[in-house]
Structures are given as structure tokens and as C-alpha cells.
């Protein structure tokens, strides 16, 4: 079958991959659409994330939807049915799994994170527990977006937004946009959003931000120097932590969701310490798919409008280039391996 490989920094090729192993009752799936995620861009631009580095040509992709390739009545699945897939398989036996913190399991097998191949291929096989049934009227775009929506839901769970408190979202890529929409649904007060890319800041207004701009300094102006109660950071910048600390009020809260380039932050410690800030780091997600599906099915969120571009597998390199450059209004690019 055909697949997209990241061979090294800014080096993508389309080549032949082995058919997926459908043994041990795994479910074979034809990949209908897979999103280019921020973490995929780190592999593309930097060759890895922390200890997860690309040592050999690697198939990325963990946000995806696909069609089941065979009837599986024991699972309630029909051939041709569109499903979502949870890319994470925690071990189920460690201390963190027993605590219910499956997103923190150190033994997780995560599709699309080296050394485990992902879904930017024509077909894939997954464990039955990974298959997520969706309503029949869901589109490929909506089904694929359930995974990033799940990441945003988990971040909002950590943030515990309070009624009518002020919120700043720094970084308005797909995760930032989803957090804006969820924060609005949570009943917060003013939402301020900043992103240096103008069309992403504009999209933040569509998702529910009251004020949008290009620089975090505007947050101080909007709040008369006070800062906000809650900051949700979703950038890829080493300065993201510092900018979040600057935007927060004294005694405020920060949730860091983005992955910084170079795997490090720059922070003036005195600022965060003197403000007495509470900081949480968000890592993937837990059991959130049911809520994600309900939000989309109930039309409380329009995740489909975040998907702005569609590419064939052969044009996958263009999808990565477009996302990395923040060009042509690209928010979320979807690669469709079987188009």
C-alpha cells in the first residue's frame, strides 16, 4: 500500500509500506482522512519531540477517521462504516492507569509517534478498543476532528473555567480555536485571543473570542493592566510560557497545551513567582470521546469549519508545507489517502 513517510527534517516522500497486520482480532480500516497536527509538524520541522525522534523513515498521523473493511458483528461494526480511532493504547496495568490517568501512562502505544507508525497510509489495523463509533450523519472531517477536540476538552477539564471569569487564549491554531469554543460553552466572561497570524486571530473571533489581536501586549490594554483569570496557551513557541505568565493576573491560572519548538520554554521566573501563578501542563486526553461526539452531534460546536484544506496522499508534502508556513488561510489540513 502507499504511505507518506517523514525521512528527516523537511524531507517527505510517498512510498510503499507493508499491509497492516490484522491479526489478534485487530480491525482493518481504510483511512478516509488524517489531519496534519502540530506534533506532526514538530517531526517534520525538527525531526522529533523530546525523546521521540525519527531514526528511520516514519509514517506519521494520529488524528484520523476511516471506513471499516469487514463486518465485525461482535463489535457492532459493519463493512464500510465510518469510525473514529483513539490513537492511544495505555497499558491498563501501571499506577497511572489504575488512577484513571490514562493520558499519563508511560507505557502507552501511541499511533503516529515514533516508533509506532501512524495513519498517513491507505490502510491501518487497530485494536477493537480503539474504534469509536460515530453517528451515521457524521462527515469525515467531523469524525477526524474528534481527536483534537478531545485534546481541547481535556485541557478545559484541567482549567476548570469559572462562571464569568476572564480568559485569554494564546495561539489560535486548531486546539486554541477549539478551546475558545469550549470556554464560551462553559459560561466564562470575556475571552481574549492573540495570534500573530492574522487569519487565525480572525478565526478566533468566529469561534467566540470577544477581542482578538496579534500580540499578547494587547491583553494588558484590554484588561487595564490587570491581566486575566485564566490563560490557555496553545502555541509552538518557547516564549509561550512567558507570554502566558504576562497575560495572567496576580494569582491567576495557566494551562499549557502547546509543544514548544526545541522542547524548552523561556521564562522569567520572578514574574511567575511574584504573581503566585498556578500552572498545569496538559498531556493528550482521557476518556473524552463520548463528550466530543455529543458536542458535535448536538451542533454545539462546528468542528468542520476548522478543516480548511484537503489533499490527496500524493500531495501530502504540500499539506505539511502549507501548515508549517501558516499560508493560504490553512487552519487544519486533511490528507485523504484513498481519494
The model's pLDDT over 306-332, given as tens digits with 9 standing for 90+, comes to: 999 999 999 999 999 999 999 999 999
pTM of this prediction? 0.95
Average pLDDT for runs of 10 along the chain of length 339 = 96 95 91 96 90 89 97 95 97 95 95 94 96 97 98 98 98 98 98 97 98 95 97 96 97 96 92 96 94 97 97 97 96 96
Alpha helix positions (H), 105-197: 140-144, 146-159, 174-185
pLDDT of residue 90: 96
Angle at 15 between CA 141 and CA 145, to 5 degrees: 15
CA gap 194, 176 in Å, rounded:
10
Looking at the DSSP assignment, which residues form a beta bridge with residue 160? none
Residue 3, all three cell numbers: 504511505
Residue 33, all three cell numbers: 482522512
pLDDT of residue 227: 97
pLDDT of residue 53: 87
Alpha helix positions (H), 25-90: 38-46
Contact in structure between 166 and 190 (CB atoms under 8 Å): yes
Query: 14-47 in b/e burial notation, b at 16+ Cβ within 10 A?
Result: beebeebebeeebbbbbbbbbbbbbbbbbbbebb
Helix/strand/coil for 125: strand
Looking at the DSSP assignment, which residues form a beta bridge with residue 333? 309
Contacts of 220 (CB under 8 A, 6+ apart): 227, 246, 247
pLDDT of residue 24: 82
Residue 318, all three cell numbers: 504540500
pLDDT of residue 175: 98
Nearest to 190 by CA among 245, 229, 145, 217: 229
pLDDT of residue 55: 86
CA gap 178, 145 in Å, rounded:
10
pLDDT of residue 4: 98
Amino acid at each position: 500500500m502507499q504511505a507518506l513517510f517523514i525521512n528527516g527534517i523537511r524531507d517527505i516522500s510517498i512510498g510503499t509500506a507493508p499491509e497492516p497486520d490484522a491479526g489478534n482480532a485487530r480491525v482493518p480500516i481504510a483511512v478516509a482522512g488524517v489531519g496534519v497536527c502540530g506534533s506532526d509538524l514538530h517531526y517534520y520541522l525538527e525531526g522529533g519531540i523530546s525523546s521521540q525522534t525519527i531514526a528511520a523513515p516514519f509514517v506519521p498521523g494520529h488524528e484520523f477517521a476511516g471506513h471499516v473493511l469487514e463486518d465485525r458483528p461482535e463489535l457492532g461494526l459493519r463493512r464500510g462504516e465510518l469510525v473514529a480511532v483513539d490513537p492511544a493504547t495505555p497499558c491498563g496495568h501501571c499506577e497511572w492507569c489504575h488512577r484513571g490517568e490514562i493520558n499519563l501512562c508511560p507505557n502507552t502505544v501511541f499511533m503516529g509517534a515514533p516508533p509506532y507508525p501512524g495513519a498517513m497510509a491507505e490502510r491501518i489495523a487497530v485494536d477493537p478498543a480503539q474504534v469509536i463509533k460515530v453517528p451515521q450523519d457524521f462527515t469525515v472531517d467531523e469524525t477526524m476532528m474528534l481527536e483534537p477536540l478531545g485534546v481541547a476538552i481535556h485541557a478545559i477539564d484541567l482549567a476548570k473555567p469559572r462562571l464569568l471569569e476572564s480568559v485569554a487564549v494564546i495561539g489560535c491554531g486548531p486546539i486554541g480555536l477549539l478551546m475558545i469554543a469550549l470556554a464560551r460553552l462553559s459560561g466564562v466572561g470575556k475571552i481574549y485571543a492573540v495570534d500573530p497570524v492574522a487569519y487565525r486571530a480572525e478565526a478566533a473571533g468566529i469561534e467566540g473570542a470577544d477581542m482578538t489581536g496579534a500580540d499578547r501586549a494587547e491583553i494588558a490594554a484590554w484588561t487595564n493592566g490587570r491581566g486575566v483569570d485564566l490563560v490557555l496557551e496553545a502555541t509552538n513557541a518557547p516564549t509561550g510560557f512567558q507570554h502566558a505568565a504576562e497575560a495572567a493576573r496576580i494569582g491567576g491560572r495557566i494551562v499549557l497545551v502547546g509543544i514548544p519548538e526545541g522542547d524548552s520554554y523561556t521564562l522569567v521566573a520572578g514574574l511567575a513567582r511574584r504573581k503566585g501563578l498556578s500552572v498545569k501542563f496538559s498531556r493528550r486526553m482521557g476518556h473524552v470521546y463520548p463528550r466530543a461526539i455529543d458536542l458535535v452531534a448536538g451542533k454545539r460546536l462546528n468542528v468542520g469549519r476548522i478543516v480548511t484544506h484537503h489533499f490527496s496522499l500524493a500531495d501530502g508534502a504540500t499539506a505539511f508545507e502549507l501548515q508549517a508556513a501558516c499560508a493560504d488561510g490553512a487552519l487544519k489540513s486533511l490528507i485523504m489517502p484513498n481519494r
